[in-house]
A and B are shown apart, each in its own frame.
Chain A
Amino acid sequence: METLSTFVITLGSRLVTALVQLWVIATLVFSIMYIMPGDPVLLLLGPESNPSSETVAAMCQQLGLDQPVLSQYLKWLGNAATGDLGNSLDGVPVVEYVTSSLPKTIELASAAIVLAAIIGVPVGIAAALRRGRFLDGLLTSLSTLGISVPVYILGSLLILLLSLQLGWLPSSGYTDISRNAFLHFQKLTLPGVTLGLGLAASIARMTRSSMLEILGRDFVRSLRARGMRERRVIWLHVLRNAAIPIVTIIGLQLGNLMGGTVLVEALFNWPGLSTLLVTAVSNRNYPLVQGSILTIAALFILINLCVDILYSLLDPRIRRKRA
């Protein structure tokens, strides 16, 4: 009971923090309109258009810029809270764009992170257990390589090999799962692998160092002195203790993937949130920029919240000592 109530309190306070973070970001996003150099209306209408004052006034009214800043701000906050992110410059609600890109980004990011964890964690464990031997050296060098190769190089190489040379996988594009599930996953594979391999490398390094730190602790020796199988010592006790830094890095990576996959999305023509944001920025489509940044930030905060909850499930010291 005691544990549960502490947990609920912890969760509640984390939720409040998350909401405050979200509000700060919403405020920053709102101020983009004013921070950007130049009159947004003139910028939107284009430098060559030489607009008449009526056109400018109409545009201002359309964007709600003729009202006092405070009421604009409150209106923006209220709308955002109810899920209304305004209309894109082409008149389509921003929410429609976002909801069409969001699942694609989440799908790509999840595929990449799952692959990265499946490869990275066991590789890190294997390297830690063979510390200083050949396998450790090999795996550590490979992970250095994995971290240092830029995604567009790796992506291009994978396209050359798997798609153009061997013809096993389509080189780019996106097919809706309801139209052709097989093709959908085929097209997911290359961008997923490209993103996942680099992430796997840093997960492997973190797993290795975290495992080594725990393996040196006294309690591991006392578990062995109790006659426990090595498998159980490693996979149950050491791994669970080593998990916090690993979970941290996976969480951070997943958060970064929400808006940081521009290169991979461009290379594989994957219509995700990053692509949406880049297109919106280059078209000076400010409502769309605001909407996509807010979405990306909200996802990041949500993921961090999940990681925090996971921490307290993994480590009783965090669960009960949180102040």
Chain B
Amino acid sequence: MPGREILRIDNLSVAFKTGEGLRAAVNGVSLSLTSGEILGLVGESGSGKTILSLAAMSLLPRNAVVTSGRVDFAGANLLTARPDVLRKLRGKRISMIFQDPMASLDPVFSCGSQIIEAILLHERVNRRQAGERARDLLARVGISDPARCMRSYPHELSGGQCQRVMIAMAVACKPDVIIADEPTTALDVTVQKQVLGLLRSLNQEIGAAILLITHDLGVIYEVADRVAVIYRGDLMEEATTGNLFVSPRSAYTEALIASMPSVSAPKSRLPVIGRDDRGVISSVVEARSALKARPSSEPEGATLLNIRNLTKTFWTRESSLSAPQAFSAVDDVSLAIPARSTLGLVGESGCGKSTLSRLVMRLMEPDSGSIEFEGRDLVSLDRDRLRAARRDFALVFQNPYGSLNPRQTVTDLIAAPIDIHEKGRDREATVAKLLDAVGLPRDAMCRYPHEFSGGQRQRIVIARALALNPKLLICDEAVSALDVSVQAQVLNLLQDLQDEFDLTYLFISHDMSVVRHVSDTIAVMQKGKIVETGPAADVFDNPKAEYTRTLLSAVPKIGTAQLTALEAR
């Protein structure tokens, strides 16, 4: 069945109109998709992969211009086709699945009516028949109660269910090509596994070719037949999935694969992607930025943070008159973190990880339990003493774009804790030292957050967290919003800082491989409870809890999964 070329992108260049003229986003990329295959398109944010996929649907934003090339599909160049021609192809013969399934469904219409609408756009059936088709499709994509799902609105479904609805719509008219743009990025690993499995089986069942766009090499490894790698708008290489991972031809691909945290060599320094003045890319292991600045004040192994039987329950109500229902966000959690070690806390969204971090920061009142920090119970402190105690712990948030006030300079941002606790004593000098420590140039001091990239912003956030020499740093999904190569830099930085400043980390993440890389001990959280805790190697190699096993098996792993996937075919 494979072999017939079905979609062809030929020498495509796209640029954005900006104040300073055109800025290239995609440079002369050629790709072809044959029927029945899954082509993975991998690249980091800003690499042009999404623009490429939108161009393939002729859905480019208004400020984008095609400077050269064509997209051939079903005998037409989609880039120049008339709107009515495009309309008949879109959704019928070429369909698309987007990254954020919740945001991609219209919130004010029920899911059923949206699927029915999608069918009626292209098929000559009546509403009742379309409704039956919609129910069949929902059952086909693994929705357990299709009738209920039909009546539900998007906000009443989980992210995974919404993505299933999106997939149902995408395959409703049995298209020849499905473009899936980061279809699992917003989903938990276990849900990701199900959705990828679904795409794979639909690919076999209806024979649609899939262009799978992602930043996640593991996802590519599990489901793609061929891979195209794109970097800064240029196509770096195209190969079969097996070949790409065994013997990557381009230096960028090699560096990208190397920068992924690997389960086999935890705590090692991750190579990052280096680019010299001539634009030559290579995989670089950065030298350690600083040596230990001060001797450790405390003996190794003493418990810094000890959480005992911590509980937090939220009360929610369906409507204003119905009885409130208890929701245990954190349920009898006990954890101990030794000084200068890293505790990795993993779990899927909604399991209570972030609530736990807020409780430890005392940004929220626990219902019961104790939080002992250096033997002192934080729960019983009054306001003033809590304020004073706060200087010993700091929080690094997930989104570096949202956690910096855009109207403040970097100096003001980093010095904020100094201004609060030490009345701004030596602020300039301290900020300069902190910038050195996190690897930012000193001329950053009078600049504003928008002048920095995501990775640099996260460095600013980390510098601010370190301003008062805290003992405990809580990293709540601190690298989740970053690209693999930037993530590698930040993970290296966190490790250097741990040695330099004697830091203890509570590292919260949904990403198993990142947690394995940084942690000494790991705690696995599910529905507000800690289901397993132990040394990182033990938890990974001999998981005891069923849930840990489920989580681990859902992580796309390079090196093993492809074999099983291939065997299954």
* B107 contacts partner chain A, Cβ-Cβ < 8 Å: yes
Other-chain contact of B122, A219, A227, A240 (Cβ < 8 Å): A227
Cβ of B103: which chain A residues have Cβ within 8 Å of it?
217-219
Residue of B with least CB distance to A217:
B103
* B203 contacts partner chain A, Cβ-Cβ < 8 Å: no
Other-chain contact of A323, B59, B87, B122, B319 (Cβ < 8 Å): B319
CB atoms of A317 and B95 under 8 A apart: no
CB atoms of A222 and B166 under 8 A apart: yes
Other-chain contact of A225, B96, B100, B155, B317 (Cβ < 8 Å): B96
Cβ of A75: which chain B residues have Cβ within 8 Å of it?
none
* A21 contacts partner chain B, Cβ-Cβ < 8 Å: no
A226–B322 Cα gap in the complex (Å)? 40
Residue of B with least CB distance to A12:
B321
Residue of A with least CB distance to B84:
A229
Give the interface size bracket for B toward A. Answer: 35 or more
CB atoms of A317 and B321 under 8 A apart: no
Cβ of B319: which chain A residues have Cβ within 8 Å of it?
6, 9-10, 320, 322-323
Other-chain contact of A222, B83, B92, B104, B316 (Cβ < 8 Å): B104
* A78 contacts partner chain B, Cβ-Cβ < 8 Å: no
Cβ of A224: which chain B residues have Cβ within 8 Å of it?
59, 90
Residue of B with least CB distance to A317:
B155
Contact with A along B107-141 (1 / 0, CB 8 A): 11110000001100110000000000000000000
Residue of B with least CB distance to A233:
B106
Other-chain contact of A226, B107, B109, B118, B316 (Cβ < 8 Å): B118
CB atoms of A218 and B59 under 8 A apart: no
CB atoms of B59 and A322 under 8 A apart: no
CB atoms of A222 and B108 under 8 A apart: no
Tell whether A226 pairs with B110 under 8 Å between CB atoms, given A13-B320, A219-B103.
Answer: no
CB atoms of B95 and A219 under 8 A apart: no
Cβ of A9: which chain B residues have Cβ within 8 Å of it?
319-322
* B89 contacts partner chain A, Cβ-Cβ < 8 Å: yes
Cβ of A218: which chain B residues have Cβ within 8 Å of it?
98-100, 103-104
Tell whether A226 pairs with B169 under 8 Å between CB atoms, given A221-B98, A320-B156.
Answer: yes
* B443 contacts partner chain A, Cβ-Cβ < 8 Å: no
- The minimal Cβ–Cβ distance linking A239 to chain B, given in whole angstroms, is 10
CB atoms of A225 and B108 under 8 A apart: no
* A57 contacts partner chain B, Cβ-Cβ < 8 Å: no
CB atoms of B155 and A227 under 8 A apart: no
Cβ of A306: which chain B residues have Cβ within 8 Å of it?
none
Tell whether A316 pairs with B106 under 8 Å between CB atoms, given A225-B90, A226-B121.
Answer: no
Cβ of B90: which chain A residues have Cβ within 8 Å of it?
224-227
Cβ of A223: which chain B residues have Cβ within 8 Å of it?
106
A218–B92 Cα gap in the complex (Å)? 20
CB atoms of A225 and B107 under 8 A apart: no
CB atoms of B95 and A316 under 8 A apart: no
* A237 contacts partner chain B, Cβ-Cβ < 8 Å: yes
Residue of B with least CB distance to A5:
B319
Cβ of A227: which chain B residues have Cβ within 8 Å of it?
86-92, 121-122
CB atoms of A314 and B108 under 8 A apart: yes
B96, B99, B122, B319 — which one has the most chain A CB atoms within 10 A of its CB?
B319
Contact with B along A298-323 (1 / 0, CB 8 A): 00000000000000001111001111
A12–B166 Cα gap in the complex (Å)? 36
* B318 contacts partner chain A, Cβ-Cβ < 8 Å: yes
**In the complex, which residues 225-267 of chain A have their Cβ closer than 8 Å to any Cβ of chain B?**
225-230, 237, 240-241
A314–B98 Cα gap in the complex (Å)? 25
* B397 contacts partner chain A, Cβ-Cβ < 8 Å: no
- The minimal Cβ–Cβ distance linking B380 to chain A, given in whole angstroms, is 32
B108, B118, B166 — which one has the most chain A CB atoms within 10 A of its CB?
B108
CB atoms of B89 and A316 under 8 A apart: no
* B221 contacts partner chain A, Cβ-Cβ < 8 Å: no
Cβ of B107: which chain A residues have Cβ within 8 Å of it?
219, 241, 315-317
A39–B541 Cα gap in the complex (Å)? 89
- The minimal Cβ–Cβ distance linking B558 to chain A, given in whole angstroms, is 30
- The minimal Cβ–Cβ distance linking A277 to chain B, given in whole angstroms, is 35
Tell whether A241 pairs with B108 under 8 Å between CB atoms, given A226-B118, A322-B319, A323-B320.
Answer: yes
* B359 contacts partner chain A, Cβ-Cβ < 8 Å: no
CB atoms of B153 and A317 under 8 A apart: yes
Cβ of B14: which chain A residues have Cβ within 8 Å of it?
none
- The minimal Cβ–Cβ distance linking B125 to chain A, given in whole angstroms, is 16
Cβ of A314: which chain B residues have Cβ within 8 Å of it?
108
A6–B110 Cα gap in the complex (Å)? 17
CB atoms of B91 and A225 under 8 A apart: yes
A219–B118 Cα gap in the complex (Å)? 13
CB atoms of B91 and A323 under 8 A apart: no
* B435 contacts partner chain A, Cβ-Cβ < 8 Å: no
Other-chain contact of A221, B59, B109, B321 (Cβ < 8 Å): B59
Residue of B with least CB distance to A132:
B62
CB atoms of A219 and B57 under 8 A apart: no
Cβ of B106: which chain A residues have Cβ within 8 Å of it?
219, 223, 237, 241
Cβ of A228: which chain B residues have Cβ within 8 Å of it?
87, 91, 117, 121
Cβ of B317: which chain A residues have Cβ within 8 Å of it?
323
CB atoms of A225 and B59 under 8 A apart: yes
A222–B96 Cα gap in the complex (Å)? 7
* B228 contacts partner chain A, Cβ-Cβ < 8 Å: no
A217, A219, A240 — which one has the most chain B CB atoms within 10 A of its CB?
A219
Contact with A along B159-189 (1 / 0, CB 8 A): 0000000100100000000000000000000
Cβ of B91: which chain A residues have Cβ within 8 Å of it?
225-228
* B256 contacts partner chain A, Cβ-Cβ < 8 Å: no
Query: Can you list 14 residue pairs at the A/B interface with Cβ under 8 Å?
Result: A218-B98, A219-B106, A222-B104, A223-B106, A225-B96, A226-B118, A227-B86, A227-B121, A227-B122, A228-B91, A228-B117, A315-B107, A316-B108, A322-B320
Binding site for B on A (CB under 8 A): 6, 9-10, 12-13, 217-219, 221-230, 237, 240-241, 314-317, 320-323
Inter-chain pairs besides A316-B155, A317-B108, A320-B153, 8 sampled, C-beta below 8 Å: A218-B104, A219-B107, A222-B96, A222-B104, A222-B105, A227-B89, A241-B107, A320-B318
Which 9 A-B residue pairs are closest in the complex by CB-CB distance?
A227-B91, A227-B90, A226-B91, A218-B103, A225-B96, A316-B153, A222-B104, A227-B87, A218-B104
